[in-house]
């Protein structure tokens, strides 16, 4: 066993590992920047080498050696199987129903998996103006399933969203909506009947009490709550080998 066994890992690393494990070899993923990109590239570097990464800039089958800073870094285009235009990626590929898993982050989530990435506070006079929808509404509607990655805090896990940017359980679309929410404390999955997000998996080092405290609604915990496995040495090694794209050039 390597010495990594005893090395500690961060909550973000646990999130990336937990999300990566949910991707199967060959899964076609629509990937955003940050945690989702780390997770998808980790899956590709470990158990799912044929996982297909699609970035909204039009890069299909990107195989970056570094973690890109933007969804349009040059390396994505250089390593992609194909680069298509923006109207094409959204109409033919996303709305066309070819994507298995879409990743989303947000500022707020509610118990139905609805997300807010638009504003905190009143729309006309916001406390915080967030970047906005981007691809989120159609990713949530048209990927077969959507994975959310979001650190669990009472400010993020709210009873009522300030703005509904993307729908957790879309009606009449091709997908099932949000099927899992990976947080720094564990994993939430929707109840099959009601769609309410239920705490189904606890990360090692986290506690159910913490999960309750970090959730702005009355969190339901699954009776058969699973205990997640810590990252393996191999996973941590692969994750840490994913270096960010060069940020050292002269500006």
Q: Which is nearer to other proteins, 170 or 231 (by Cβ)? A: 170
Annotate each residue in 168-197 with x if it binds other proteins (CB under 8 A) or - if it does not, as one string: --xxxx------------------------
C-beta separation of 33 from 103 below 8 A? no
Using CB under 8 A as the binding rule, the residues of this chain from 38 to 97 that contact other proteins are 56-59, 68-74, 76-77, 83, 85-87, 90-91, 94-95
Q: Which is nearer to other proteins, 4 or 130 (by Cβ)? A: 130
Which H/E stretch holds residue 39? Answer: helix 35-45
Answer yes or no whether residue 164 interacts with other proteins by CB under 8 A.
yes
Question: Smallest gap, in angstroms, from Cβ of residue 143 to other proteins?
Answer: 12
56 labelled catalytic: yes
Query: Quick one: tokens of 59?
Result: 């890069």
How far apart, in whole angstroms, are the C-alpha atoms of residue 95 and residue 142? 6
Q: Which is nearer to other proteins, 22 or 151 (by Cβ)? A: 151
Q: Which candidate in 56, 138, 201, 235 is catalytic?
A: 56
Annotate each residue in 193-222 with x if it binds other proteins (CB under 8 A) or - if it does not, as one string: ------------------------------
State the Rg of the chain over Cα: 18
Q: Which is nearer to other proteins, 26 or 74 (by Cβ)? A: 74
How far apart, in whole angstroms, are the C-alpha atoms of residue 159 and residue 69? 32
Question: Smallest gap, in angstroms, from Cβ of residue 234 to other proteins?
Answer: 27
Q: Token pair 């933007």 is at which residue? A: 70
How far apart, in whole angstroms, are the C-alpha atoms of residue 201 and residue 196? 15
- Which of 131, 192, 223, 224 lies at the binding interface for other proteins (CB under 8 A)? 131
Question: Smallest gap, in angstroms, from Cβ of residue 148 to other proteins?
Answer: 16
Find all residues with CB under 8 Å of 185, minimum gap 6, and list them: 152, 202, 203, 206, 210, 211, 214
Question: Smallest gap, in angstroms, from Cβ of residue 61 to other proteins?
Answer: 14
How far apart, in whole angstroms, are the C-alpha atoms of residue 157 and residue 185? 13
Closest CA to 159 of 218, 71, 225: 218
Question: Smallest gap, in angstroms, from Cβ of residue 115 to other proteins?
Answer: 10
Q: Which is nearer to other proteins, 34 or 230 (by Cβ)? A: 34
How far apart, in whole angstroms, are the C-alpha atoms of residue 231 and residue 238? 11
Residue 233 main-chain phi, psi, to 5 deg: -60, -40
Query: Where on the phi/psi map is residue 221: left (φ > 0), alpha (ψ -120 to 50), or beta?
Result: beta
Q: Which is nearer to other proteins, 33 or 185 (by Cβ)? A: 33
* Residue numbers at the binding site for other proteins (CB under 8 A): 33-34, 56-59, 68-74, 76-77, 83, 85-87, 90-91, 94-95, 118, 123, 125-138, 141-142, 163-167, 170-173, 245-251
**What amino acid positions are annotated as catalytic residues?**
56
């Amino acid at each position: 066993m390597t010495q990594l066994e005893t090395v500690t890992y961060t909550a973000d690393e646990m999130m990336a590992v937990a999300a990566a494990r949910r991707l199967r070899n060959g899964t076609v993923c629509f990937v955003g920047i940050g945690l989702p990109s780390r997770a998808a590239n980790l899956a590709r570097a470990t158990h799912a080498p044929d996982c297909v990464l699609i970035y909204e800039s039009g890069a299909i089958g990107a195989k970056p050696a570094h973690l890109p800073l933007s969804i349009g870094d040059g390396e994505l285009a250089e390593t992609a199987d194909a680069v298509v235009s923006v109207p094409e990626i959204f109409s033919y590929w996303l709305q066309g129903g070819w994507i298995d898993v879409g990743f989303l982050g947000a500022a707020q989530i509610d118990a139905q998996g609805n997300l807010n990435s638009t504003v905190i506070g009143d729309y006309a006079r916001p406390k915080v103006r967030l970047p906005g929808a981007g691809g989120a509404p159609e990713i949530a509607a048209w990927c077969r399933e959507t994975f959310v990655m979001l650190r669990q805090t009472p400010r993020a896990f709210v009873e009522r969203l300030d703005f509904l940017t993307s729908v957790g359980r879309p009606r009449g679309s091709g997908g099932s909506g949000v099927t899992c929410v990976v947080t720094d404390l564990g994993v939430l999955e929707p109840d099959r009947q009601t769609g309410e997000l239920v705490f189904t998996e606890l990360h090692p080092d986290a506690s159910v009490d913490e999960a309750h405290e970090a959730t702005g609604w009355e969190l339901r915990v699954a009776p058969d709550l699973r205990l997640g496995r810590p990252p393996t040495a191999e996973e941590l090694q692969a994750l840490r080998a994913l270096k960010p794209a060069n940020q050292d050039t002269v500006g």
